[in-house]
Structure 1
């Protein structure tokens, strides 16, 4: 398509513009050919934004110093909690009589409650159970071997 030869339509006649009573022309405004209902009034610019970089950097330094102090205080509190916990815990080495295994226990000195144990109680019970089964199997093999008679032809 060729748009180069097209003719342009020009407006004939003038628009009748009525001045708005609520719109005030300000310095530097641009006149427009809009109806009164469609005109726009610019908002007041207000105060200029002031950015104080030195004050921001001082605040950042204060925030960093406060964060470092909080980190030091948190580390100190954590160390104190660990020390208090160490003072409360009694470590014991016990030999389990049924399995004849070494058991390491950590108990609370105040309550006497076992905090942790290695090997775990469940594993100890499993080992006791397996020993009992092995013992029963050995006993049954001994008794069945006594009644077994071998005959040769």
Structure 2
């Protein structure tokens, strides 16, 4: 009986002694980004211009502790990959979307936003722009880009043009 009591005590210590308090998991701080893309178009009958939503591909890379090189990235940029000169390696975009807008909850930090008009047979195909943004915790960043009516194929246009 004494051995049975000793075994039960030992068993209890092993079962409850192996438990430990779990480490507290802290949530990743996030903010919101709301991007929208348009192109100026003219009504052929009236000549009146409007901002028409346009299909784009949107990539976002975190720039903290990186030296991203758009020029050296070449066609990899269309695949969401950009060259980091610090490591001399390509890095994939943390966020991306295809459409006329991008509304996401993203991790806080500094980002490079790169946008190009989707490939088509229309003037302005693959025209592109980029900007830097900072996402702060529980804050919303809203940006709109309006591409010029006469933008050429694969042509760069500054983000703040036609704002």
TM-score by length of 1: 0.29
Q: Which has the higher strand share?
A: 2
Q: Which has the higher helix share?
A: 1
Over alpha carbons, which structure has the higher Rg?
Answer: 1
TM-score by length of 2: 0.28
- Quick one: higher RCO (CA 8 Å, sep 6+), 1 or 2? 2
